[in-house]
Structure 1
């Protein structure tokens, strides 16, 4: 049976993937489908590929639709209301943590080495804040070498996308191609979309196999790393202290909105 409910899940994941600092993998955790997502991607190369395709196709439709429709909106929000927008996603990310803690059964499964892995994961992602670039304008002269760069940028970014806590968009920002990719999507530049898309597909397939192996063989350690990655992403997306009372009020409202969204999504999906 086709899981058409995944279209709305894909829309949420796609929206988050457009935002530097937020991971589609994080949203998959909130929605309670992260394990199934990894299993389904790997299952495409098994005898039960049809079953997994019925899970992934609706999800993919939602992701692509969301990215195509929301790219301009996200750009506009970050241009005009960057602080409140980031506080919303900050609340969303923090709201994910209780679900991860519950899923990992930290109280009973975690030992000293696992908490060390949490710290390592957090430091790895938090350190990315020092690599932010001042990239502003999309590339104008697209050459063959540019396509190669965009392909491998998509590959690396998608490897990050599938890990909760690491934002594929933020990786693109660090590499220096984020505005080029977002502009290409907004303006429907098919060459850029195709090249980056191919890189994304390749990256997701490879990384999903790696994640599946570690989830099956080192479950607690893998969850420890994932929790650390999510905690670290809080430092990456934190926009700083609001500059006036009005921004304080708006930012608090959007932050609470993000927490509430995570709680509601988790309540619906885990019910």
Structure 2
């Protein structure tokens, strides 16, 4: 039973990673030593399994694996039964983490963007050593595979978020004192049509689409804004947006008004959600490529989290349909892609590991903690000051991420040596 609990805990770690844009559950599976087993288990969900499930013998073997009473058995049902038990405990942990993380992690990412990205940057940077050490040989061909995949991933994660279904418009912010020039950073500001005192975590809010500098002597300035997720509920009438949300920005002495209605918000069609689910799950089982990040690029990350939260909290039928179609896409995507990945791990193990190293190195671009924003999106920069508190905390979380992976890797190696060959 301890082994089952351990698998569930590993699933929880994967689920937490899958909620975070830029961090892959596949990376966590690789670090925790269950990546190959996961891919093989998914591959065994096939027509043969359907046939075996029609036989009472399968359920006897399933129960035996569930209770750990499998010593000496070589029944034909064993591989499939063991895979289902493994996935049952792993997916339970993943689901629990996603349902919990969907409520917590986005808030942490919004409130502490630099330290959180610093933590994940450190985690992924240190994790690069895991697939590298799994390579039995390292040739120039493997080097070319690494470079090609790293470059491709670097450009992929630099793509702009699709905001074609996000409502947009402008607000006007005013200040009492106009004595000094002041820069308003986009990542420090967020606006709402709902009073923060009564606002729920996943209620719609609006972000500036660029950093703005107010010259000395200026008391008001117009700021372009965009909704934090897709959906027609973002098309709010003029005068709706009146609140600053709590953030790093001190809004004392400031007011915000909305001179014109917002427009452009639309709910995505169900077929698009199906495709997004299939694409995201393929990324989720690839170390280095985050399914959550691809959902962000496709413009559906916050939309899916919103409806997942609505389904859990209000039992909304609309949200149930959205989540069901998305999950259907996940099922189709993972059953198809796992077969390709399993073939690669079996036939081309070193080339596959070299590609995974490239994926992880290339994905570091999106996790760099220090960023600025303009109308063309976010851009990586160097910290403005090494003595700033936020910079120091971010460097600290980055180091913490590296230390966590080093400790986990050492512990995993010692456990493997103690267990011996199987």
Same fold, TM-score > 0.5, yes or no: yes
**3-state DSSP class of the match of 2:128?**
helix
Query: Could you list the runs of 4 or more consecutive aligned residues of structure 1 that deviate by over 6 angstroms after TM superposition?
Result: 141-145
Structure scoring higher RCO (CA < 8 A, sep ≥ 6) equals: 1
Select 2:140's aligned residue among 97, 108, 112: 112
Larger radius of gyration: 2
Unmatched 5+ stretches in structure 1: none
Query: Contact between 1:125 and 1:236, CA under 8 Å: does it hold in 2?
Result: no
Aligned-residue offset at 1:242: 3.7
Matches within 5 A, 1:72-111: 72-105=103-136, 109-111=137-139
- Residue deviations 1:194-242, cap 9 Å, x none? 2111111211111110011111111111111111001111112113234
From the superposition, tell whether residues 259 and 217 of structure 1 become closer, same or farther in structure 2 (CA, over 3 Å).
same
User: Are 2:301 and 1:178 aligned?
Assistant: yes
Unmatched 5+ stretches in structure 2: 49-76, 164-227, 234-264, 312-318, 371-381, 416-422
> 2 CA distance for matches of 1:186 and 1:269?
35
After TM superposition, the score normalised by the length of structure 2 is 0.60
Select 1:259's aligned residue among 402, 407, 410: 402
Select 1:121's aligned residue among 149, 156, 167: 149
Query: Contact between 1:44 and 1:50, CA under 8 Å: does it hold in 2?
Result: no
Higher helix share: 1
Report the counterpart of residue 137 of structure 1 in structure 2. 229
Aligned-residue offset at 1:111: 0.9
> 1 CA distance for matches of 2:10 and 2:19?
15
Query: Contact between 1:78 and 1:85, CA under 8 Å: does it hold in 2?
Result: yes
User: Are 2:277 and 1:147 aligned?
Assistant: no
Matches within 5 A, 1:1-271: 3-45=4-46, 46=48, 47=77, 48-105=79-136, 109-133=137-161, 135=163, 136-140=228-232, 146-188=269-311, 189-240=319-370, 241-244=382-385, 245-270=388-413, 271=415
From the superposition, tell whether residues 201 and 123 of structure 1 become closer, same or farther in structure 2 (CA, over 3 Å).
same
My pick for the range that moved more, 204-213 or 253-262, is 253-262
Query: Contact between 2:280 and 2:294, CA under 8 Å: does it hold in 1?
Result: yes
Aligned-residue offset at 1:95: 1.5
Higher strand share: 2
Aligned-residue offset at 1:145: 6.5
> 2 CA distance for matches of 1:59 and 1:5?
9
Count, aligned residues: 268
Report the counterpart of residue 242 of structure 2 in structure 1. none
My pick for the range that moved more, 73-82 or 142-151, is 142-151
Query: Contact between 1:163 and 1:226, CA under 8 Å: does it hold in 2?
Result: yes
